[in-house]
Amino acid sequence: MTRLAHRLIALPLGFLSACAGNQNAMGGQGLESANFIVLFLVFLAVCAVMYLLVLAGLGIALRRRRDAGQANSVDEDRHEETSARTKVALIVWTGLVTVGLTILTVASFFSDRSNASSTRRSGLALTITGNQWWWNVQYDTSDPSASVRTANEIHLPVNVPVHVTLKSNDVIHSFWVPNLAGKQDLIPGRQTDIELLPRRTGVFHGQCAEFCGVQHTRMALDVIVEPLDDFRRWYAQQLATAPAPTTRLQMAGYRYFVTRECSSCHNVAGSPAGGQIGPDLTHVASRRSIGAGTLPLNRGNLYGWIADPQSHKPGSRMPTIPMEPRDLHSLVAYIETLK
Amino acid sequence: MSSALEKAKAPPADVPRDGPGLSGPVLEARLARTWGRPRGLIGWLSSVDHKDIGRRYIVTALTFLALAGALALIMRLQLAKPENDLVGAARYNEIFTMHGTTMMFLFAVPVMQGVQIYLTPLMIGTRAMAFPRLTAVSFYLYLAGGCLLWVAFILNIAPDIGWFAYPPLSGPQYGVGKRPDIWAQMVTFTEVASLAAAVTLIATILKQRAPGMSLARMPLYVWTTLVTSLMVVFSMPAVALASSLLLSDRLVGTHFYNPAEGGDALLWQHLFWFFGHPEVYIIFLPATGFVSEIVATFSRRSIVFYPVVVLSVVATGILAFGLWVHHMFATGLPRVGYSFYTAASISVSIPTALQIFCWIATLWEGRPRLQVPLLYVIGFIITFVIGGLTGVMIAAVPLDLQLHDTYFIVAHFHYVLIGGAVFPLLGAITYWFPKFTGRMMSEKIGKLGFWMLFLGFQLAFFPMHVAGIYGMPRRVYTYPAGMGLEWPNLLSSLGSLVVALAVLLFVLNMVRSALGGRRAAANPWDGSSLEWATQSPPADYNFAHIPVVESRAPLWGSRDHLPVVHGLRVDDRELLLTTVMDAVPDVREPSAQPSPWPFISSVAISVMFIGSILSPWALVVGAIPATIAMAAWFWPKGPPELEPTIS
């Protein structure tokens, strides 16, 4: 049904649908997103009928043949006359509109109920905390030592219901991964939540959807939905502390990291760097992007980002710190070990 | 005492009054002397003529439209291609904040109120507004608020927090400098201005209608004016409260919106949208009034089912106050509560659907002539209905959670606000232009401009629906390639250029026609309402004799013999007040003379408001000159027994 729905909606949207990316409300890879497609189609159909009725009425009203004998001026006695047919039409139109809108209201209600009820049994819980302008991700477990902390990237097992608790450390943000579900705000002083049920594997993209300051634009995150085994492997790897640096260059980078500005904001588990202000970097090299989706993660971008984050993400909380080329070189070598 | 009262009720019999003995050019010359304004700059600043004030309102609002439109073009240029770097992040945030704030607070509401101030007394057959000096203050405060915002923009201290200014982003901790204060104080200016205009309009409509114009005979445009003015009175206090609390959080360290100290960030959203949603209808309902007037005149028949249209307007005005939570579906409020707001939001489209039926039925039953004002109405129906239907879509929680804060919403509300309000407004300007200026606008340029605007608009805004579905959030200064957003954005940017050209063409047509257009007769379109009974442009006193209304279409019912009443003073400004329901003549009421004090009071109040951005003490110190100015304004001019009495 949903696949058919997807096709039907893709057709009128024409060739554009072919180039849609992985941040798409018509993706339908999660339960809520699939419900969205069905409901959107129902609304589109009812609304299209209403619109065509209005256009038809307007078109006929304008092109209707008039009595040729009638003068061009207003008829003083008859300008308020209304035919009986029009009165009937008013009643029919009111009935049609009311019935159409009632159908839509009821459909909306049931779709909402389906979203709210079918993911009640959560298999996985995580807490996402919004910060200007990045996402802190914490996998909640009853055993704190089994809890993984990461940033700007979420891995989810396919077909497992997920309960996400949403918080904010500063201003209001909004969590939105359109391929999986609708959005939910992160509000300071409150706790909100959202249920996700990914149905298909893939790499999806999410983005902050509430204006949250200068770099609202560059506050994205990657969501990787994978088979349960892959997820377990990833989780175990994330749970481990960072590997110790081995080469001389990596050692130099490590020393720079833990003794200079880096460690006052960033945490690398297993090292003395324990800053909590910025994203956790324990396994940063295993992620897909830098700077909350600003740049794809690769060696060149790491150099660029560390040397001058302010030119890539102006206003970012990460300052541009002047450093010697050899420090930069060693720092990148060290960070690349943080897999 | 009783004799003094008697005297006040029945002024001396020897004062000159209009009537069979005093009419024609002699009467007109004497009325012109009584109702004219002093010469020179002082006279200009002293004017209390609703036509002067309305015209100033309209011209100022259109200027702000042009400025905010230019900002829109800059945004479209920036978004024309992915990862563009024409405008930086911080500047872009300022620009979209200025665009939204200017359009909502400095263009849309004021332009509607300006037209209302100009037209209402003419349409109900009176000579002035109920509180002419308050109307003047309303304009000066509005102008001051607009200047505050735009001077701040030039000085690079403009707000960058969005037109909705959600705390904590706009609060003391994250809203740096004076930017949010300037935004909040601009809101104070405009809300005082529009409240002043609204109470004046309500009093004028309820008490100054021509004899015989019972509520059931009131022109539909006046009905929409009455309903929107009441909406202003009930909704503006919410935003006044919200922005005052924000200013006090920022200025004196209260914690209304600070969750860390027991405040609540969501409080702002409730207060803001309790105003913000009705505001949309404050902009839209006057536009439906334009449409009703234009459709009737150009179909050459009265609107079909007048009571249905009136009740629809009233119902929309009431329902508009029960929808605000649909702006907050993503904030995590209880889900059961959401379904009520879904039902309410969907049901508000029923009265609008009825109005659309009535307009189409009127065209159907009448004999439409396709001139420019009617073209704009047709463009309005075709465009606005799309916006209304996407509105139905986003009333549903599961759809809104995806579409909220994406370009789908940007498309939706531009369809509603440009399609639903600006198209009718341009039609209305074309329609009433002969009344405003005494000259007709060019039909040929008007038609070309309409088609450019209509098609350019669709090109600019339809692709935004697609961009939103493809995951483009609002308020982003750029977007990455590969999301499918390249084509929709490029098309939108091209469309925006066409829209800009069309607007330019409209303005050129206005200027050209105002200077050298064809001269207009009193009633060039064969309209039915009272503003067409007086010359174009109207004299300072509007009507030589106050007309008497015997039907809903007074000029169609009694074409060449519009009955009038006699007996108003011609040596002093005097109005005829009538009863609220049936418009039976009630009392004669003196009307205020021109005075520079409203202007001086506005300057004093503006200094106080702007000063309070810098220090709360400005409210204390600034109140002194404001009080002095207003004391001078209200100083009694004669012995108490000659002051107006309510009998």
Give per-residue pLDDT as tens, B464-482: 999 999 999 999 999 999 8
> Looking at chain B from residue 244 to 263, which residues have their Cβ under 8 Å from any Cβ of chain A?
259-260, 263
| pLDDT score, position B623 | 95
What is the distance between the alpha carbons of residues A304 and A281, in angstroms, rounded to a whole number? 17
pLDDT of residue A69 exceeding 70, the answer is no
Q: Is B545 left (phi over 0), alpha (psi -120 to 50) or beta?
A: beta
- In angstroms, the separation between the Cα of residue B318 and the nearest Cα of chain A is 18
- Judged by a CB distance cut-off of 8 A, whether residue B475 touches chain A is yes
pLDDT digits (tens, 9 = 90+) for B403-461: 999 999 999 999 999 999 999 999 999 999 999 999 999 999 999 999 999 999 999 99
| pLDDT score, position B8 | 44
Residue pair B60/B143 in contact (Cβ under 8 Å)? The answer is yes
What is the distance between the alpha carbons of residues B537 and B432, in angstroms, rounded to a whole number? 10
What is the distance between the alpha carbons of residues A124 and B232, in angstroms, rounded to a whole number? 49
| pLDDT score, position B638 | 64
| pLDDT score, position A72 | 63
Q: CB neighbours (10 Å) of residue B544?
A: 20
Residue type, B543: F
| pLDDT score, position B12 | 55
| pLDDT score, position B7 | 43
> Which residues of chain B does A115 touch, with a Cβ-Cβ cutoff of 8 Å?
398
Dihedral sign for Cα atoms in the order B214, B217, B218, B223: positive
**For residue A71, what pLDDT band results from cuts at 50, 70 and 90?**
low
Which residue out of A17, A183, A215, A316 would a mutagenesis test of the B interface target, given it has the greatest number of B Cβ atoms within 10 Å?
A183
**For residue A18, what pLDDT band results from cuts at 50, 70 and 90?**
very low
Dihedral sign for Cα atoms in the order A106, A108, A113, A119: positive
What's the burial of A65, exposed, middle or buried (CB within 10 Å: 0-12/13-18/19+)? exposed
- Nearest residue on chain B to A47, judged by CA atoms? B389
| pLDDT score, position B639 | 59
Provide long-range contacts, Cβ within 8 A and 24+ apart, for A228-234: A228/A157, A228/A158, A228/A160, A231/A155, A231/A156, A231/A157, A232/A157, A234/A155
- Nearest residue on chain A to B365, judged by CA atoms? A82
What is the distance between the alpha carbons of residues B414 and B462, in angstroms, rounded to a whole number? 10
Provide long-range contacts, Cβ within 8 A and 24+ apart, for A78-87: A78/B301, A79/B300, A79/B301, A79/B302, A79/B528, A79/B553, A79/B556, A80/B301, A80/B302, A80/B552, A80/B553, A81/B365, A82/B304, A82/B305, A82/B361, A82/B365, A83/B365, A86/B304, A86/B361, A86/B364, A86/B365
pLDDT digits (tens, 9 = 90+) for A233-280: 999 999 999 999 999 999 999 999 999 999 999 999 999 999 999 999
What's the burial of B65, exposed, middle or buried (CB within 10 Å: 0-12/13-18/19+)? buried
- Judged by a CB distance cut-off of 8 A, whether residue B424 touches chain A is no
Mean pLDDT of A302-309: 96
What is the distance between the alpha carbons of residues A225 and A30, in angstroms, rounded to a whole number? 10
Residue A260 DSSP symbol: S
- Judged by a CB distance cut-off of 8 A, whether residue B177 touches chain A is no
Nearest to A331 by CA among A305, A311, A293, A292: A305
| pLDDT score, position B335 | 83
Say if the Cβ atoms of B361 and A207 lie within 8 Å: no
- Nearest residue on chain A to B90, judged by CA atoms? A214
**What is the radius of gyration, based on Cα positions, of chain A?**
28
pLDDT digits (tens, 9 = 90+) for B348-387: 999 999 999 999 999 999 989 999 999 999 999 999 999 9
What is the distance between the alpha carbons of residues B134 and A20, in angstroms, rounded to a whole number? 55
Rounded to 5°, angle at Cα A234 from A233 and A235: 90
What is the distance between the alpha carbons of residues B254 and B196, in angstroms, rounded to a whole number? 29
Is A138 or B561 the better-scoring residue by pLDDT? A138
Q: Which two tokens stand for residue A12?
A: 């009128």
| pLDDT score, position B336 | 83
- Judged by a CB distance cut-off of 8 A, whether residue B216 touches chain A is no
pLDDT digits (tens, 9 = 90+) for B207-241: 999 999 999 999 999 999 999 999 999 999 999 99
- In angstroms, the separation between the Cα of residue B419 and the nearest Cα of chain A is 15
Dihedral sign for Cα atoms in the order A72, A76, A82, A83: negative
End-to-end CA distance of chain B, in Å?
Answer: 15
Say if the Cβ atoms of A111 and B398 lie within 8 Å: yes
Torsion angle (degrees, nearest 10) of CA A161, A165, A171, A172:
50
* A80 vs B260, B302, B385: nearest CB: B302
The 3-state secondary structure of B518-554 reads: CECCCCCCCCCCHHHHCCCCCCCCCCCCEECCCCCCH
> Which residues of chain B does A101 touch, with a Cβ-Cβ cutoff of 8 Å?
346-347, 349-350, 392
| pLDDT score, position A17 | 44
Mean pLDDT of A67-85: 72
> Looking at chain A from residue 290 to 309, which residues have their Cβ under 8 Å from any Cβ of chain B?
none
What is the distance between the alpha carbons of residues A301 and A60, in angstroms, rounded to a whole number? 61
Indicate the SS3 state at residue B199.
Answer: helix
Nearest to A112 by CA among B539, B402, B638, B231: B402
Dihedral sign for Cα atoms in the order B463, B465, B470, B472: positive
| pLDDT score, position B646 | 46
Q: Which two tokens stand for residue A321?
A: 């710190």
> Looking at chain B from residue 304 to 363, which residues have their Cβ under 8 Å from any Cβ of chain A?
304-305, 308, 330-332, 335, 338-339, 342-343, 346-347, 349-350, 353-354, 356-358, 360-361, 363
Residues of chain B with pLDDT under 70: 1-13, 558-560, 638-647
- Kindly list the structural domains of chain A, giving each domain's residue range(s) and its CATH number in brackets, ordered by start: 2-60+84-117 (no CATH), 124-229 (2.60.40.420), 248-335 (2.60.40.420)
Q: CB neighbours (10 Å) of residue B537?
A: 14
